[in-house]
A and B are shown apart, each in its own frame.
Chain A
Amino acid sequence: MGLLSDPNRRRALTNLLTRLNTPLCIVCYLAGVAWFMGLAFEPFTLRTYMSENAMGSTMVEERFLAGERALVTAREFAAQKKKMGGMPVDWLVKAMQARGLEVFTQSFSRTLPFPDENKERYMVHGTNVYGILRAPRAPRTEALVLSAPCTPGSSNNQAVGLLLGLAQYFRGQMYWAKDIIFLVNEHDLIGMQAWLEGYHHTNTTGMSWTPLEGRGGSIQAALSLELSSDIITSLDLVLEGLNGQLPNLDLANLFYAFCQKIGVLCTIQGKLQRNDWDSAAGYSQAVQTMLLMVLKQASGRPWGDHGLFLRYHIEAASIRGINSFRQYKTDLTTVGKLLEGMFRKLNNLLERLHQSYFFYLLPSLSRFVSIGYYMPAFGLLAAILLLLVGMREPFGPGVLSVLTPLIISHLTGVALYTLPIMAQQTAVEHFPVSETEAVVLTAIAIYTAGLALPHNTHRVLSGEGTEEGWRVLKLIAIFYMAVLLGCTALINFSLGFILALTLVPVAAFITPHVPRVLSALVMVLLSPGSTLLFSIFVYQELQEAPITLLEGWNLFLSVISQGILDHNLYGSLVYPLISLLVYPCWLLLWNILFWK
């Protein structure tokens, strides 16, 4: 602080910062990226460990043996499902009752804002069936949930079979201290949303459902099961939930511990952990796993049925059975044992899972990066914005001239947020497109129109644009961006980091005096929309399913429609965030480029 209280030295520091501003910005940017890439390097990460004492050891003797019977049940369920052409509600009710559960149903209906072409649904009617196994010693104050979605087609039958098998086995045990709810939800996430809203008697998304008749108190943890084959080779753990929320790391630790104990191959993001961290291949595997997690988290959508539980402060994860061409096969009994072990451990919980981290990245299941380690990567990028602010000289009047660009870019943002759904009917009438296409194309059209519309709007009020004018505008834009990205990164690090990665360079170099065409091209390439497009290609590349440009474009369109749907159906905040805040902020910078 002596440095700052001495005016001479303070001046020297300011001079240094001003003189070395550009190199410092570049160094910060590179350091930020390097730090981020270094997070996946194993010596820099921490080994996961179980923080919760109540789940401390895996000393549970698993006795579940009814895997074969579960398969028989699964086949029966498949036959019933085929016969009914949907969820066999009556059969499920009977099956759960026969296993000694208290069974209830909930029906729900929801009309989507526009048809979902990926899943081919528009008007959704469905029924959830759930059975409660009452804990003998507890007065209905706490519960655990095991859910399996009832999906159309032939997938996920084994999950329902195993769920019923576990229900039967669990019913015969005396040690339960929490009620266990076995839930079969129809229409995957929509059904889950209806059930959760019904359970907590809230209505956040305008869905209609019948009230639940049986409850088990406050839900402590939930697991969602997805199995589509009789034999699996590995189990994949899915953690990313709505708005990039993650369950407590102890839940992942629990899964990993039991996989180790029982000897099941376990993966995260579909990537098996490698032992050779010091080789290039090992490092690349870790980076890929982490990048996949970052991309999934940044998307803000629930990547499994568990994703919606997180809003209610319920720790939840999805366990997905993978059947690939590996040698090592695992049968349903083993999966059942794994779940039995996990449930017995969760049953031991005295408090909600809270001991371990809620903010983390996983380069592999046994290694994690906590918030203290990954935040500096973002901090280095955000530091550039601070450096840029420091460089600005004091300015005179001209604040008024920036008001119009601010208002107009935000109005464009509001249009981008509201118009696509409002105008779908009109679009369908006038153009030969389906509703979904209409929504997506309207969104893209507004987005593009925004590029043409607002530049030079400052002239409306103050006539000629001044030198001070754009400096004020840039200062405001940089402040805006710093606050926006900072808040986003606190809530959803991945989204904040990806946005910072593309928006910060734009904010750094943009002035009205740079070569206009080239800069415009760069700016468009670094705009939020293009970021989404790149992310899709990177994601597909990481998934080892590369796509052509055309496929990429189609995927881009469907991702936009999914984003809008996620917002309307489950309350995901990414779409409003981008359209109402990030895009207008970027438009301000665009405005500077075309300042006259």
Chain B
Amino acid sequence: MTAGRCTAALLAAVLVCGLTCASTAAAEEAITEEYESISNANEHVQAQDDYARSQKRREITEHDDDQNEPPPSSSSSSSSSSSSSSSPPSKDYFKEELVIRPLSSGDIYASFQFQTRWDTDFFAPGKKVSHYRLFPKSLGQLMSKFSVREMHVSFTQGYWRTMQWGQPFLPAPPGAELWVWFQDSVADVDGAWKELTNVLSGIFCASLNFIDSTNTVEPTASFKPLGVGNVTHQRFLRYAVLPREIVCTENLTPWKKLLPCGSKAGLAVLMKSEKLFHSSFLSLAVHIRPVCQDWGCKGTAWELRQTVNVVFDLHTTGQGKREWSFFKMFSRTLTEACPLATSSKVYIDVTDNPQGELFELNPAAPSLTQAVVLGDRRTYAVYDLMASGTFGLLRSLNVLLRWKTPGSVDMLRPLLHGERYVAGYGLQTGEIHTLIYNNHPYRAFPVLLLDIVPWYLRLYIHTLTVTSKSRENKPSYIHYQPSKDRLRPHLLEMLIQLPPNSVTEVTVQFERALLKWTEYTPDPNHGFYVGSSVISALVPSVVAMDTSYTLEHPLFSTFFPCKEESSYFVRVYTEPLLVNLPTPDFSMPYNVICLTCTVVAVGYGSLYNLLTRTFQVEEPSPGVVKRLANMIRYLRGVPLL
């Protein structure tokens, strides 16, 4: 597990000098790019050369103007000639998009999504998938070897500030998160999980190998499969979080390597690590899941989604000026789409800016589109990178946004958010408080709360209280799995109904365990992490709350509040906790050893000696004459002197 070790070593370095990270990142980038080009060439060598790729792209763009529908299967026969199998070759597509949302706090939220879809089945009986084109081979082999049905892994630096930024498109907890659904054919799930984490640790150069039974759980309700399939028993689910994991370029580089174009072309050129890591929030993620090939769902396709969510802090980087552009944020501009992509688009959220009174965009957006995102109807300006007109005369796209008003400082009131802290003082006991806010003015809704607490915090589960509006709120479902020392963590899952416009407080007391001295981390006084708790909920949609919505629609369609959009799924992660455990003074082992040895040797030894020995006054030894006299008296049988 050299990857893990190198992360651990780097971890310290990164903590010491967060700043130098950027500079070393640049150097590392240079090296890895070289390496990347070699490995890319290797990976795709059996697919096509560059010429064939561009041929393919042209074909796909001809056939596939409507990106939602997969192109007819006949179109691929010419390009996949290198495939020698007799069965019709399976289809794969690649889409990339970038969504930019100017946040009300003045920050910029950029979300990259890259989707690779492959109409093949890894687990079809008697068929071994060995020919890879767009789908990364390393992940594909992993899926088939460990019979993975669904895999979600994310690496996050910083904490998503719901109160200032609203909801993210893809939430992720600080640190590393991994959850995997295995196929129901897997007999030894724990073994597969163990191996899988080690392999992933190598692939992403992360410390995922630190996932073991002490931080793995099987949540019953919070993490359901996101793809097609009918196995939902938690026996096949494993979930783990490493809140301490530090994310750096060493994770970004292998992540970029999974893209068909690498960081050579398309949107990925924007991902320069010295800019990405100079941000308030950064989350890398990889999601793999089975999806339907078509409407009838006759066959499954595999979807790989790679995402990067990043929030740039304009306050610190913009020297007070409130404007940004691609170049300013990423130190790059866009010049072309990825040649392998079937769709490549940049969306910019202009919902709050219908008449352009808040900010202006330059160049102006060629088209607008609307979508309901997270229960809210948003308007986006769209730049299609496949269209040649997008790049203009300079042959590069550098969208510039200039604010006309100063940023607001008001906090948002997101409908659902949570926070968590440790109460109490001293090193014996404590109390974990989890606060869940429902800011909806009139709707109550249920949430699922998932808490994973390491074994060294011994939860007093009888002290668990749930209160809303200063009244007890009885959870309708509680699943609690007690911890086993050094084996497994506490798992607490609850279904709680949140009253409208309320704060629900979940408290539970704990006792801090005294660890064995080898179990302490190298920096025990830093404290021990407790991962984020997860709040999953179907939140009533803002669109459904919107009464003016009825104005734009025919009356007959809007009597009942809108149907399919009436609620949306949200997952909120609270902040992780840092808890101090009673810690011996490791900085003075020499003193401790000396003192202990002295006490044992001198104090205890002699005291024991004094206490156990019986003392007698010894007669001085008699002289020779007396001894002689005694001998005579003894022989005579008279008492001795």
Which listed residue (A4, A171, A201, A352) contacts B315, Cβ 8 A? A171
Chain B 235-261: CB-based contact to A (< 8 A → 1; otherwise 0): 000000001000000000000000000
State which of B298-306, B478-486, B522-530 sits at the interface with chain A.
Answer: B522-530
Question: In the docked arrangement, what's the CA distance between A102 and B15, Å?
Answer: 24
Which listed residue (B159, B610, B617) contacts A139, Cβ 8 A? B159
Which residues of chain A are near B577, meaning CB under 8 Å?
A: 141, 217
In the complex, which residues 175-234 of chain A have their Cβ closer than 8 Å to any Cβ of chain B? 175, 177, 200-202, 215, 217-218
A507 CB, nearest partner CB in chain B, Å:
26
Chain B 397-422: CB-based contact to A (< 8 A → 1; otherwise 0): 00000000000010100000001011
A100 touches B523 (CB 8 A): no
B431 touches A97 (CB 8 A): no
Question: In the docked arrangement, what's the CA distance between A172 and B525, Å?
Answer: 30
B615 touches A5 (CB 8 A): yes
Nearest A residue (CB) for B526 = A351
Interface centre among A134, A139, A171, A217 (most CB of B within 10 A): A139
B423 touches A139 (CB 8 A): no
Whether, in the assembled complex, B349 has its beta carbon less than 8 Å from a beta carbon of chain A, the answer is no
B523 touches A351 (CB 8 A): yes
Question: In the docked arrangement, what's the CA distance between A175 and B277, Å?
Answer: 12
Whether, in the assembled complex, A138 has its beta carbon less than 8 Å from a beta carbon of chain B, the answer is yes
Chain B 278-294: CB-based contact to A (< 8 A → 1; otherwise 0): 11110000000000000
A7 touches B617 (CB 8 A): yes
Which residues of chain A are near B606, meaning CB under 8 Å?
A: 1, 4
B165 CB, nearest partner CB in chain A, Å:
11
Question: In the docked arrangement, what's the CA distance between A5 and B617, Å?
Answer: 11
In the complex, which residues 158-192 of chain B have their Cβ closer than 8 Å to any Cβ of chain A? 158-159, 161, 163-164, 174-175
B575 touches A140 (CB 8 A): yes
A80 CB, nearest partner CB in chain B, Å:
18
B529 touches A141 (CB 8 A): yes
B422 touches A202 (CB 8 A): no
In the complex, which residues 2-29 of chain A have their Cβ closer than 8 Å to any Cβ of chain B? 4-5, 7
Chain A 340-362: CB-based contact to B (< 8 A → 1; otherwise 0): 00000000101110110000000
A350 touches B526 (CB 8 A): yes
A164 CB, nearest partner CB in chain B, Å:
15
Known interface pairs A5-B610, A312-B425. Does A141 touch B409 (Cβ–Cβ under 8 Å)?
A: no
In the complex, which residues 206-229 of chain B have their Cβ closer than 8 Å to any Cβ of chain A? none
Which residues of chain B are near A142, meaning CB under 8 Å?
A: 578
Which residues of chain A are near B280, meaning CB under 8 Å?
A: 134, 136
Whether, in the assembled complex, B576 has its beta carbon less than 8 Å from a beta carbon of chain A, the answer is yes
Nearest A residue (CB) for B407 = A100
Question: In the docked arrangement, what's the CA distance between A351 and B278, Å?
Answer: 24
A138 touches B158 (CB 8 A): yes
Which residues of chain B are near A177, meaning CB under 8 Å?
A: 15, 18
B508 CB, nearest partner CB in chain A, Å:
13
Question: In the docked arrangement, what's the CA distance between A509 and B101, Å?
Answer: 83
Which listed residue (A137, A171, A201) contacts B18, Cβ 8 A? A137
Which residues of chain A are near B529, meaning CB under 8 Å?
A: 141
Whether, in the assembled complex, A118 has its beta carbon less than 8 Å from a beta carbon of chain B, the answer is no
Which residues of chain B are near A141, meaning CB under 8 Å?
A: 527, 529, 575-578
Question: In the docked arrangement, what's the CA distance between A350 and B16, Å?
Answer: 7
Known interface pairs A1-B606, A134-B280, A217-B578. Does A313 touch B425 (Cβ–Cβ under 8 Å)?
A: yes
Nearest B residue (CB) for A2 = B606
A100 touches B525 (CB 8 A): no
Interface centre among B161, B578, B613, B617 (most CB of A within 10 A): B578
Which listed residue (A4, A5, A7, A200) contacts B423, Cβ 8 A? A200
In the complex, which residues 89-115 of chain B have their Cβ closer than 8 Å to any Cβ of chain A? none
Whether, in the assembled complex, A173 has its beta carbon less than 8 Å from a beta carbon of chain B, the answer is yes
A105 CB, nearest partner CB in chain B, Å:
13
A217 touches B587 (CB 8 A): no
B157 touches A201 (CB 8 A): no
Nearest B residue (CB) for A204 = B425
Which listed residue (A136, A171, A175, A311) contacts B425, Cβ 8 A? A311
Whether, in the assembled complex, A491 has its beta carbon less than 8 Å from a beta carbon of chain B, the answer is no
Question: In the docked arrangement, what's the CA distance between A139 and B411, Å?
Answer: 19
Which listed residue (B174, B279, B423, B523) contacts A201, Cβ 8 A? B423
B421 touches A201 (CB 8 A): yes
Whether, in the assembled complex, A550 has its beta carbon less than 8 Å from a beta carbon of chain B, the answer is no
Whether, in the assembled complex, A98 has its beta carbon less than 8 Å from a beta carbon of chain B, the answer is yes
A7 touches B615 (CB 8 A): yes
Whether, in the assembled complex, B30 has its beta carbon less than 8 Å from a beta carbon of chain A, the answer is no
Which listed residue (B19, B175, B525) contacts A354, Cβ 8 A? B525
Question: In the docked arrangement, what's the CA distance between A142 and B422, Å?
Answer: 12
A350 touches B411 (CB 8 A): no
A453 CB, nearest partner CB in chain B, Å:
39
B348 CB, nearest partner CB in chain A, Å:
23
Whether, in the assembled complex, B86 has its beta carbon less than 8 Å from a beta carbon of chain A, the answer is no
Nearest B residue (CB) for A53 = B16
Whether, in the assembled complex, A391 has its beta carbon less than 8 Å from a beta carbon of chain B, the answer is no
Which residues of chain B are near A139, meaning CB under 8 Å?
A: 158-159, 174-175, 243, 575-576
A59 CB, nearest partner CB in chain B, Å:
12
Whether, in the assembled complex, B424 has its beta carbon less than 8 Å from a beta carbon of chain A, the answer is yes
Nearest B residue (CB) for A96 = B409
A4 touches B610 (CB 8 A): yes
A136 touches B617 (CB 8 A): no
Chain A 149-180: CB-based contact to B (< 8 A → 1; otherwise 0): 00000000000000000000001111101000
Which residues of chain B are near A172, meaning CB under 8 Å?
A: 315-316
Whether, in the assembled complex, B12 has its beta carbon less than 8 Å from a beta carbon of chain A, the answer is yes
Nearest A residue (CB) for B617 = A7
Whether, in the assembled complex, A577 has its beta carbon less than 8 Å from a beta carbon of chain B, the answer is no
Whether, in the assembled complex, A54 has its beta carbon less than 8 Å from a beta carbon of chain B, the answer is yes
Which residues of chain B are near A138, meaning CB under 8 Å?
A: 158-159
B409 CB, nearest partner CB in chain A, Å:
4
Which listed residue (A140, A218, A311, A355) contacts B422, Cβ 8 A? A218
In the complex, which residues 414-461 of chain B have their Cβ closer than 8 Å to any Cβ of chain A? 419, 421-427, 431, 433
Which listed residue (A100, A140, A202, A348) contacts B159, Cβ 8 A? A140
A175 touches B18 (CB 8 A): yes
Which residues of chain A are near B37, meaning CB under 8 Å?
A: none
Interface centre among B411, B424, B425 (most CB of A within 10 A): B425
Which residues of chain B are near A352, meaning CB under 8 Å?
A: 525-527, 580
Known interface pairs A350-B523, A352-B580. Does A175 touch B19 (Cβ–Cβ under 8 Å)?
A: yes
Which residues of chain B are near A173, meaning CB under 8 Å?
A: 316
B411 touches A200 (CB 8 A): no
Whether, in the assembled complex, B609 has its beta carbon less than 8 Å from a beta carbon of chain A, the answer is yes
B17 CB, nearest partner CB in chain A, Å:
8
Nearest A residue (CB) for B521 = A351
Whether, in the assembled complex, B313 has its beta carbon less than 8 Å from a beta carbon of chain A, the answer is yes
Known interface pairs A141-B575, A171-B316, A202-B423. Does A54 touch B16 (Cβ–Cβ under 8 Å)?
A: yes
B512 CB, nearest partner CB in chain A, Å:
13
B578 touches A174 (CB 8 A): no
Chain B 27-47: CB-based contact to A (< 8 A → 1; otherwise 0): 000000000000000000000
B611 CB, nearest partner CB in chain A, Å:
11
A103 CB, nearest partner CB in chain B, Å:
8
Question: In the docked arrangement, what's the CA distance between A1 and B601, Å?
Answer: 12
Which listed residue (B175, B313, B409, B587) contacts A98, Cβ 8 A? B409
Question: In the docked arrangement, what's the CA distance between A75 and B15, Å?
Answer: 39
Nearest A residue (CB) for B156 = A139
Which residues of chain B are near A137, meaning CB under 8 Å?
A: 18, 157-158
Which residues of chain B are near A201, meaning CB under 8 Å?
A: 421, 423-424, 431, 433
Rank and list the top 3 A-B pairs by shortest CB-CB distance, nearest first: A139-B174, A201-B423, A351-B525
A residues near B, CB below 8 A? 1, 4-5, 7, 54, 97-98, 100, 102, 134, 136-142, 171-175, 177, 200-202, 215, 217-218, 311-313, 348, 350-352, 354-355
14 contacts between A and B (CB under 8 A): A5-B610, A5-B613, A54-B16, A134-B159, A139-B159, A141-B529, A171-B315, A200-B423, A202-B423, A217-B578, A313-B425, A313-B426, A350-B16, A351-B523
- Give 5 A-B pairs besides A139-B174, A218-B527, A352-B525 with Cβ atoms closer than 8 angstroms: A134-B280, A174-B317, A202-B424, A217-B421, A351-B524
